[in-house]
Chains A and B, each alone.
Chain A
Amino acid sequence: MNGDASLEQLRREGRVVIVGASLAGLRAAETLREKGFAGSLTMIGDEPYEPYDRPPLSKQVLLGMAGADRTALPRRRALDATWRLGVPATGLDMAAGRVRLADGDEVPYDRLLIATGVRARPWPHAAEAELDGVFVLRTRDDGAALARRLAERPKRVLVIGAGFTGSEIASACRERGLAVTVAERAAAPLVGALGGVVGAVAAELQREHGVDLRCGVMVTALEGDATGRVRAAHLSDGSSVETDVVIVSLGATRNTEWLAGSGLGAGPRGIACDAGCRAFDIRGIVTDDIYVAGDVARSPHALFGYQFLSLEHWGNAVSQAETAAHNMLSASSDRLPHLWMPAFWSSQFGVNIKSVGVPTLGTEIVVSQGSLADRRFVGVYGYQGRVIGAVAFDHARWLPFYQELIETTVPFPPPFPTVDRRPEGRRPVDADFPDPSVPTHGPTVTLSGYSPADRRMTFTPAH
């Protein structure tokens, strides 16, 4: 009874604070209002802009097809929120229920949603990172600055790191007719996310589109000229590349520093939460008023042995935000689990790449439809005798089927004929993922064990 009354009061006049005013934050806010939340809503974001969409930044924006300022996320409804934009949150007092802001303000909450996402990992040598012409790509400002520079038609662009973002950037540069070198520590692009078998296809794709792709090398130093402009990069194989634009694409760092010392279970791998999106504290006890969603979250998934997953996926941010918002306003029996099936898409070099499940868990892969040589195929990943993930190159329409195979834990290799099964589809091969104990910048799904407390991981810079 009592609980109902206080929930009712929360819905009517409670205070919800959302830190991180991007995709997850916005969708959560909209869901709260949709579900009838009538109390006060405060959106805190360190970027000065209203929520915008990031995927176009490495695609349409770099192609010059859309301005970086034209990426605002479509609004589903009016929010009636107090916006605190351009002000980072700097601390959290869990006992008092307050968020501290950089400008000294404190904002009290009854329910808090943390959606602070990730940021681009910078070039590790600070002085080199400062050189004019060295970029990362995560924000609207990054996108605008880079697009401007590409429009000046640099003589050569160097992309460091061939994960999804780096590969998309290289693709956009080629489409604009710019000379591009890609340097990747692993044996091929996308290896961290999709393994070596598929990585080899991505490598061919890049070379065929005129990318000067250098794998198995690290960039050891960036060199500037007298005016502080970058002019060359030196590689671990002794070679060097003359270049006037360098894009550092080495993956992301979770935005959790502002929570240091707060007592929340937040660390370099993100903020641990339960399937209901409630954050854990450092003791591994779940909180009841703090929720997490989007790229910053790590949450356990029933289909993958309840390991904690961190997903840098657009669709996950939306779905988790909606679940978190629902659960914030619900009694425990009405809460929903966040059961999103990991799914990711990318477009590069004219190919639509899409994956479902957790390819990175896969030890083997079988090409169940099409062929690697045609670069049109479905690859199915197996782990301990079951189907765990799938990737499609220009074959996305088939993926719902493979999603079902994952959901129903079908044995691997899938024991049935399919249309367009080629000889190469008869036998699984090693999926060829790099040693999982060495973190890479590549994967967009990271498995991070069973412990909600996570402060041990240290990242060894790749370059």
Chain B
Amino acid sequence: MTQSLLHQILDYANRADPYPIYEELRKTPVHHEEDGPYVVGTYYEIRSLLHDPRISSDARNLASTARDPLAESAQEGSALPPSFLRLDPPEHDRLRRMTNRPFGPPHSPHRVDGMRGELRDIVAGLIDGIGDPGRIDLVEEFSYPFPVTVICRLLGVPREDEARFHTWADTIAASLDPDPDADPTERGKESHEARMQLGMYLAGLIEERRKKPGDDMLSELATAKGPDGAMTTMELLSTAALLLIAGHETTVNLVTNGMLTLLRNPDVLQRLRADPRLAVPVVEELLRFEPPVQLVPQRTPLADIEIHGVTIPKGASLWLVLASGNRDPQRFENPDRFDPDRRDIQHLGLGSGIHSCFGAPLARLEAQLALAELARRLENPRLLEDPPPYRQNAVLRGPRHLPIACDGIRP
């Protein structure tokens, strides 16, 4: 018997190349099996659902009968209140607005750009630290530590605490990516423990920043006096945890997928080496071609809605497969070609609508600087394994290791 489409999406055997399954998925506007989730994979339908005010991101609107095989891994599983990723307006808007005040325009137009120098230093430091150029695991040695360091600097975690922060972040990230051989209850306990410790650490830091604020984001959030007032400590904790989690695995995968794709397209790698400005269109095309968030599983309609004659009932679990929409030939010419010269590139890689990626400007800058610098400094880089071994996770999809070799590392 052939496997159901849903199983194929989740099946680890398809992790290296899920795109043929998505092509199958796009043949029906809404895919639904038995009591499983309703799965949408075509560009225009996904985009309209992301802008549809009848669709909720709040798990409390899910009918108790809705079955979602991803529900467990998506659980934030802690005592914290839901972060704005899992809230609807007006709470979503209020928290996102308050978080944005110290982060982006109009109030803080220079926060991200102001980190450029620091990001360059982090990237340079990580590349300097690479051991044997003959065998590099790009994930371990570069992509993995990079975003956690960035979030630490953004939030204002003192340098001496960064190492502890990395440990918690790694444990939490690992719980999002269950290793089939590990004992699940043990994993759950570890991750719970890490969340508790992280929460306690952040609570302490917030307390300190309230007394002696710096110019970091956490200080500004902790002492905010904007029109929306201040966040409660609990809200602040979930927001800080959200920034860490939403900005970690995603960025790891963007950078890793990026290097993998460049190594598979040596002409583009060559062009990027010659002209670092190409990093901008390269990263956009990557977000379309190999998006780190393959699908958003956490949506549910507030009323029965109809899409091309299929009714998605109120309270059902709804998956929007962004990575499939990004390869929809109805939207993109030659969608399976990696082409940084594409001019028409409104991809879904960072979502769309009110939940569209909050960290997008930072994520883009991180990936641009990282890829441009890797292209410049690695001499004659090549893949040692293709495809590389992937993580379990079907949602936050990316290589677990990216073994590469090069002849040397330029200064």
What is the 8 Å Cβ interface bit string for chain A, positions 417-438, against chain B (1 contact, 0 not)? 1111000000000000000000
Bound-state CA distance A370–B94 (Å) is: 12
Known: A369-B53, A400-B47. A416 touches B89 (CB 8 A): no
Q: List the A side residues contacting B356 at CB < 8 Å.
A: 397
Q: Which one of B88, B90, B354 contacts A397 once the chains associate, using CB atoms below 8 Å?
A: B354
B54 within 8 A of A: yes
**B48:A400 contact, CB within 8 angstroms:** yes
A374 within 8 A of B: yes
CB within 8 Å of B: which of A129-151?
A: none
**B302:A419 contact, CB within 8 angstroms:** yes
Q: How many residue pairs between the two chains, A and B, have CB atoms under 8 Å in the bound complex? A: 48
Chain B nearest CB from A378 CB (Å) reads 8
**A417:B54 contact, CB within 8 angstroms:** yes
Bound-state CA distance A350–B97 (Å) is: 13
**A398:B93 contact, CB within 8 angstroms:** no
Total interface residues in chain B, CB < 8 Å: 19
Q: Which one of B53, B89, B302 contacts A401 once the chains associate, using CB atoms below 8 Å?
A: B53
Known: A370-B89, A419-B88, A420-B90. A398 touches B51 (CB 8 A): yes
Known: A374-B90, A398-B353. A417 touches B48 (CB 8 A): no
Q: List the A side residues contacting B54 at CB < 8 Å.
A: 416-419
Chain A nearest CB from B46 CB (Å) reads 12
Q: List the A side residues contacting B48 at CB < 8 Å.
A: 400-401, 404
**B56:A397 contact, CB within 8 angstroms:** no
Q: Which one of B51, B52, B55, B89 contacts A420 once the chains associate, using CB atoms below 8 Å?
A: B89
What is the 8 Å Cβ interface bit string for chain B, positions 29-63, against chain A (1 contact, 0 not)? 00000000000000000011001111110000000
A100 within 8 A of B: no
Q: List the A side residues contacting B302 at CB < 8 Å.
A: 416-419
**A419:B56 contact, CB within 8 angstroms:** yes
Q: List the B side residues contacting A420 at CB < 8 Å.
A: 53, 88-90
Bound-state CA distance A169–B28 (Å) is: 51
**B88:A400 contact, CB within 8 angstroms:** no
Q: List the A side residues contacting B353 at CB < 8 Å.
A: 397-398
A376 within 8 A of B: yes
B303 within 8 A of A: yes
Cβ-closest chain B residue relative to A401: B51
What is the 8 Å Cβ interface bit string for chain B, positions 341-360, against chain A (1 contact, 0 not)? 00000000000011010000
Q: List the A side residues contacting B89 at CB < 8 Å.
A: 369-370, 419-420
CB within 8 Å of B: which of A103-119?
A: none
Known: A397-B354, A400-B51, A404-B48. A417 touches B90 (CB 8 A): no
A310 within 8 A of B: no
Q: List the A side residues contacting B47 at CB < 8 Å.
A: 400
Chain A nearest CB from B86 CB (Å) reads 13
Q: Which one of A350, A374, A376, A418 contacts B53 once the chains associate, using CB atoms below 8 Å?
A: A418
What is the 8 Å Cβ interface bit string for chain A, positions 361-377, against chain B (1 contact, 0 not)? 00000001110001010
Bound-state CA distance A350–B47 (Å) is: 28
Known: A398-B51, A419-B302. A370 touches B90 (CB 8 A): yes
Q: List the A side residues contacting B88 at CB < 8 Å.
A: 419-420
Interface of A is mostly: mixed
Q: List the A side residues contacting B51 at CB < 8 Å.
A: 397-401
Bound-state CA distance A420–B302 (Å) is: 11
Q: List the A side residues contacting B303 at CB < 8 Å.
A: 416-417
Q: List the B side residues contacting A368 at CB < 8 Å.
A: 53
Chain B nearest CB from A352 CB (Å) reads 10
Q: Which one of B53, B106, B305 contacts A419 once the chains associate, using CB atoms below 8 Å?
A: B53
Cβ-closest chain B residue relative to A403: B51
Q: List the A side residues contacting B354 at CB < 8 Å.
A: 397-398
Bound-state CA distance A374–B90 (Å) is: 10
Q: List the B side residues contacting A370 at CB < 8 Å.
A: 89-90
What is the 8 Å Cβ interface bit string for chain A, positions 394-422, against chain B (1 contact, 0 not)? 00011111001000000000001111100
**B52:A401 contact, CB within 8 angstroms:** yes
Cβ-closest chain A residue relative to B88: A419
Known: A397-B354, A416-B303, A418-B302. A376 touches B93 (CB 8 A): yes
Cβ-closest chain A residue relative to B56: A419
Bound-state CA distance A378–B51 (Å) is: 13
Q: List the B side residues contacting A419 at CB < 8 Å.
A: 53-56, 88-89, 302
Chain A nearest CB from B158 CB (Å) reads 35
- Greatest chain A CB density within 10 A among B51, B302, B356 is at B51
Cβ-closest chain A residue relative to B314: A417
Chain B nearest CB from A65 CB (Å) reads 12
Chain A nearest CB from B104 CB (Å) reads 14
Cβ-closest chain B residue relative to A416: B303
Chain B nearest CB from A35 CB (Å) reads 16
24 inter-chain pairs at a CB distance below 8 angstroms, sorted by A residue, are A350-B106, A369-B53, A370-B89, A374-B90, A378-B53, A397-B51, A397-B353, A398-B51, A398-B353, A398-B354, A399-B51, A400-B47, A400-B48, A401-B48, A401-B51, A417-B54, A417-B303, A418-B54, A418-B302, A419-B53, A419-B302, A420-B88, A420-B89, A420-B90
6 nearest A-B residue pairs (beta carbon) = A418-B53, A420-B89, A419-B88, A400-B51, A401-B51, A416-B303
